Structure 1
Amino acid sequence: MGLASGPAFGKLRRGVLQEVENPISTRDSGRALVLSIVWQRDQQPDGEVSVGSVAAYMCIDPSVGSRMVTENIKSGYLIRVPSQLDGRRAVLQLTPKGQEFLREYRKQQRRAYEYITADWSEQDRLDFARLMLLRYVESIENLNRRPAADA
């Protein structure tokens, strides 16, 4: 299992959502990633999101992050608003159009999951979702809380 998991994980990251019925475009995937970051950070108590923090979260060059954010702003999905913590800064906020786009994108992700796992048992679907999708993502988010490994 251990040796096979690397290549299998790589396949998860490739355009699976483009290979199912009613595929999600690469452009929409990029938009949804930015919108998801803004939405997720908005849910936190100090949840202000800047262009720089989007780029940092995505581990991409700030200029690439800026272009992605600008495209979402031009499409009407995001707006820049003054920070409530520091009025000199601008932060990002989802518009109602952006919220709707994200809802529709998530519905399509769910349909893709159901399409891909159509021949799985209900228990396999639930186990995979619980372990791979939920627990794995939670572990990724908690990485910075782990004690440093001894060298």
Structure 2
Amino acid sequence: MRSKNGSNKDADTLLDGIGPAFSRLRRHAPTGRKDFSRNLILNVVADGTAEMTVGAVAEELKVDPSVASRMVSDCIEQGLLLRAASQTDGRRTVLEITPEGQALRDEFARQQREAFERITADWEQTERLQFARLLLKYTEASTAYRKREATS
């Protein structure tokens, strides 16, 4: 049976489940809430293509600047980030990951890989690798889409 937009009803049901599935993944991260927030901040700063400011972190995470400021301040207090003068505009303050922050980021990545391997332990290896490739492809396409939207 075809739906009103001409697609397969089973495909629509499958695709409609993606949003709630992403939400469940986020809620069941393999780290505690504080670690989850720190991991988000560290990844945003590390993945930034330009100098990262608190405002850029807020924009990337789609949160209020005061929320981003508290999250960044926590990372600074923990020695994971530091504030530095911008190399292009000395009046601006940018964020940099410390060696401790990079070590924690690496530890988060290790924990996430272990969780993925435990969760998918009964999958065929080809399924695990295919899912990993497609997830990475999806995140790269999502990043490219957001960049295109921001410039249009």
Q: How many residues align?
A: 136
1:77 to 77, 80, 88: 80
1:83-107: CA deviations, max 9, x gaps?
Answer: 0010001100011111111111110
Sequence identity (%): 47
SS of 1:142 mapped into structure 2: helix
Paired residues for 1:128-143 under 5 Å: 128-131=131-134, 133-143=135-145
SS of 1:125 mapped into structure 2: helix
Q: Looking at CA atoms only, which structure, 1 or 2, has the larger radius of gyration? A: 2
Once residues 3 and 40 of structure 1 are traced to their aligned partners in structure 2, the CA distance between those partners, rounded to angstroms, is 29
Give the TM-score taking structure 1 as reference length.
0.84
Q: Does 1:9 align with 2:16?
A: no
Give the TM-score taking structure 2 as reference length.
0.84
1:89 to 88, 92, 101: 92
The offset of 1:53, in angstroms, is: 0.4
Gaps of 5+ in 1: 18-23, 147-151
> What letter corresponds to residue 39 of structure 1 in structure 2?
A
RMSD: 1.6
Hey, what does 2:33 align to over in structure 1? 26
1:27-63: CA deviations, max 9, x gaps?
Answer: 101001101111111xx3xx20001100110000000
Higher relative contact order (CA 8 A, sep 6+): 1
Paired residues for 1:90-105 under 5 Å: 90-105=93-108
SS of 2:139 mapped into structure 1: helix
The offset of 1:72, in angstroms, is: 0.3
1:35 to 17, 42, 48: 42
